[in-house]
Structures are given as C-alpha cells and as structure tokens.
Amino acid sequence: MKRGHDVSQSEPTGFSKSLRDVRAGRLTWLWLLVGFVLLPFTIVQTMIPLAAWLAPIFLLRFARTARRASVALTMIFLAEAIGNWIALRGGGDVGNIYMAVFGLILFSPFRGLVSTLPYAADRLLGSRLDEKTRALVFPLAYVTVDWLMTLLPVVNSTASFVYSQYDSLALMQIVSITGMWGITFLIGWGASTVNALWERGFDCRPVRGVVIPFVAVLIAVVLFGSIRLNFAAPSSPTVMAATVTIDHAVYQRAISPPFNWATFYRSTDDERGAVRPQLKATVDQMLERSESALRAGAKIVGWQEASAQVLEEDRQQTLDRASDLARRYDAYMQVEVSVFTRASTHHYYRNQSILIDNTGQILATYEKTYPVIPGEAYVSIPGPGKLPVANTPYGRMGTAICNDFHFPALARQAGRNDVDIMMAPYNDSIPFGQQDAVVAIFRAIENGYSMVKATGNGPSMITDYQGRILGRQNYGDGGGVMLATVPTHGVVTIYSRIGDLFAYFCVAGSIFLAIWAFVRKHPEVAPIQ
C-alpha cells in the first residue's frame, strides 16, 4: 500500500459500500420522479416558467447516474410521453374524436421520443468528452430537436417548453436575435451546467470553465433585454385598434344540424338554403360588433378566426357589407370568413383572412397555410403559404391565421417584409389557449411587429413588438369587443434578417461533437458523484 493511503478514509468497503450504493440508487430514481412531476408544467397549459428550467436538470441527473443507459433512456421517454399527455389534458373536450386520438395517443409518444434524444446524446457522447465540451452536448442537441420539430406540419413548435418563459420580457428579447432557439439553448445549457456542479459536490472551483461562461451569457442576455425594453421602447404614433369575437352560442348554432361538416361538400341547393339563416347570423353579429368598435373610435378592426360562416355564393355579399362599414367609418378591417364551397372531395372549406381599406377596397386575401391536423386539415383547402402585406396610413399591415404562427419560418415573412401591425385571428381549442397566446407574442418579438390578436375560445390580445400586452380580454367578456392603442411602426430585428442561423449553428455543433467524440482520444472524465 502506498504511504498515506488509508483505506478506511477513502473508499468504503463491505456493508458501508453496499449501503452507499443503495442510497445512490434510490436518489437516482428520485431525480426521475422530480423531473417527471415538473414536466406537465412546462408546456401547453398551466405553464410554470421555473419548471422548464428545473425539469431537465433532474432528468439529466437521472440520465447520467442511472447504471444502464437503456433503462435510463426508456424511463425518460415514458416520463416525457406521459408528461405531454398530462399537459394535453382536456384535449378530447373539443368534441372531436380526431383531436382526442391524435393529441393524446399519437402526439404524446412522438414528442416523448424526440424529447429523449438530447438525454441520449449527453449519456452516449458525454463520457467521451471533457467537462467543458460535454456541457455543450445537451443544449446543442436540445436546440436541434426543437428546431427540427418546427419543420414538421404535424408537430411544429407545439409543446416546446420555450413558451413557458412568457413572464420574463427581458429574457424573451433575445428571440429578436436568435429566434426561440436562444432560450432553448440557455435552458439546456443551464441543465448541463448545474449537473457539472452537482457532480463536483457543488464546488465551483473544479468547474469554473463550465459555470462562468453560462452565468456570463445568461447575465448578458437579461441585460440586453432590459436595455432594449427600457431604452428602445416603442415611441411611434399609435392608433386605436379593436378585436371582435363571436358569441359562442351563435357560432355553435351555425355549425349545428342541418349543417354537417362530413357531408356538406356535396350539399344540394336545398341543403344550402336550409343552413343559410344560421350561417348569416354569424355575419350579422360580427358586423354589429364591428360597428360598435368603430363607433368607439377604432380605426383598425380584427375578427377572430372562424367567426363569419358563409356559403361560397354568399361570400361577396358578406365582403360588400364589411367594405361598406369600413368606408363609412374611414377605417381598416381584417375580416375572417369560413367559406363553404362545393367540391368532389372533403377538401371544400376555405379559411380566409381578408384586409379591407378605408375606401372599402380589398387589399389582400389570405388563406390559412397550415390547417390543424387532423380535423381541420381533413376538410380545409390550404393556402399557398405567402403572407400578404398592405400599406396603410397606420403602417404596413399583414395577416396570418392561428396555427400558422406555430411555424417561425412562415411568420418570418412578415418580419422580412417590414410589417408594422400583424392581424392574428385565432380560434383556440382546449387545451391550447394559454400557449397560443404566448406563441403569438414570441413571433411578434422575433419579427418586430405589433399584434392585434382576436381569439375565439381564448384570450384576445393587443401587444407591441416587444411583447408588452396593451390590451387583453377573455373570450365572452366585454360583448366580444376590446379596444387598445397600438404603435403604428415596428422595428427591424436581426432574427427577421438572418432567420434560424443560430439553430443551424447548433445543428452543426451537434454533428461536430458527435463526430469528435468518436475520433479523439478519450479524456479522463471525473466520476459522477
């Protein structure tokens, strides 16, 4: 034995070693339990901002300390899938079997699978890298997975934990440079940094090279956001804007028998005549409420998604009535019409957002690019994916519809075209109301436009381009009309010009580290404590 080496003081043996191993094993499973309990509060509804930072810390701790990688990753998959399922609670309450099957049975396992990949990358590559490099594996993989999901129409950015950070405007300002991926990276980096500390008994000295860069960047990000909010706040003239929503009972009567979504694509003249009165009631109410907003001084009016239900042959008459209203009150209107055409297949429904100027002229007609899968996509005719822009005395106006805002690349068209005010008609369903509100704000900050978001079954909001809420109204309140002033000029953001460049760097970084881990000589890695 080497001089000075005391077995009793270094490594426990016998019973004491077994006891230590049992305790360590139990604690490992405790970290999984804590992470699992936090997961449902990171996405979709009942989002708690701190939970999104804590959950990956504990799950990553479990992934690193579990003895078998296969067991660790399987359990994290189950935790993520069940956590998603819990977060989507109420998804079947929309009365749509497609939503229930897709959301709760198919979506949750898929999100669980892809959410496990960053933990797999850390577990499988980490032992081949030094501490400083290993700290980047998890956040780079986190961004890669989150970004790839936005490329899939079925998944998009729904259930991204980034949206849980809605209450920190200072932190959110970084998305004007990096897009949402900057926050994804920070949360992932935070998890790997804390785990590096944890493995060293929370002694900062051995891992200064890991901790200091993360803390410095986090402080810089929050400082940047604070400066932007306080020294670059909107200062342009404002205009009175209004959101208009439909009464839920009127909407429900419109799509009740004799109307039938499944067969109406081949409707006869008699069948269309039978439903005309109940559809017309939606148009009448939206026009009445719009006139109320215009009388109150609104110069921009936005309708919620799926508000005016019209037959194709009645569409022009509806637009003529809206145009007359805009002309009489010298105002601009964004009207949202659900148009029921005749077709040989189930794709017969057009979801349209139409911009009308103060002379009654139609400036642009936009059709929803990404109908919600599977229900809406089954009957809807998707648009070509080009966001319109219209010049007005109140700045450049644009529009997109609800689910479209879950696709950052599509919304970025508005930023590239220097849109000042974005008209954002929504019609939420359980359980997406809270998250959809946050998604729209993220897109506004990313692209430098203010937003008029009229929302059915969720909160209507008017915000500026830094995410400040200038007006908010719960669905059903205020007679379906909300007014607030909104800036007439937006700003050019770095993100609107460089797009997902930060995400591309993260993808490239993930690939590089994966290759580097297997071609370089393995370093001496400190044992996990």
Say what the alpha-carbon torsion angle 358, 359, 364, 367 is, to the nearest 10 degrees. Answer: 80
* pLDDT tens per residue across span 300-350: 999 999 999 999 999 999 999 999 999 999 999 999 999 999 999 889 999
The pLDDT, as a whole number, for residue 96 is 53
User: What is the rounded CA–CA span in Å between residue 259 and residue 262?
Assistant: 9
User: For residue 22, is pLDDT > 50?
Assistant: no
The pLDDT, as a whole number, for residue 102 is 61
The pLDDT, as a whole number, for residue 390 is 97
Question: Long-range contacts: 17-21, Cβ < 8 Å, 24+?
Answer: none
Spatial contact of 526 and 209, defined as CB atoms under 8 Å apart: no
Residue ranges covered by each domain of the chain: 10-232+502-519, 238-490
Spatial contact of 42 and 51, defined as CB atoms under 8 Å apart: yes
Tell me the residue ranges of DSSP E strands in 226-314.
238-244, 300-303, 308-311
Spatial contact of 395 and 489, defined as CB atoms under 8 Å apart: yes
Average confidence score pLDDT of the chain: 90
Q: Strand, helix or coil at 204?
A: coil
| The one-letter amino acid at 143 | V
The pLDDT, as a whole number, for residue 90 is 58
The pLDDT, as a whole number, for residue 25 is 58
Q: What is the CATH number of domain 238-490?
A: 3.60.110.10
The pLDDT, as a whole number, for residue 93 is 45
* pLDDT tens per residue across span 159-204: 789 999 998 999 999 999 999 999 999 999 999 999 999 999 999 9
Work out the pLDDT band at 158, boundaries 50, 70, 90.
confident
Spatial contact of 443 and 409, defined as CB atoms under 8 Å apart: no
The pLDDT, as a whole number, for residue 38 is 96
Spatial contact of 380 and 403, defined as CB atoms under 8 Å apart: no
Rounded to an integer, the average pLDDT of 439-443 is 95
Spatial contact of 260 and 282, defined as CB atoms under 8 Å apart: no
User: Starting at the edge strand that comes first in sequence, how are the strands of the sheet with 469-473 ordered?
Assistant: 389-392, 395-399, 421-423, 450-453, 460-463, 469-473
* pLDDT tens per residue across span 393-429: 999 999 999 999 999 999 999 999 999 999 999 998 7
Q: What are phi and psi of 451, to 5 degrees?
A: -140, 140
Work out the pLDDT band at 43, boundaries 50, 70, 90.
confident
User: What is the rounded CA–CA span in Å between residue 63 and residue 73?
Assistant: 7
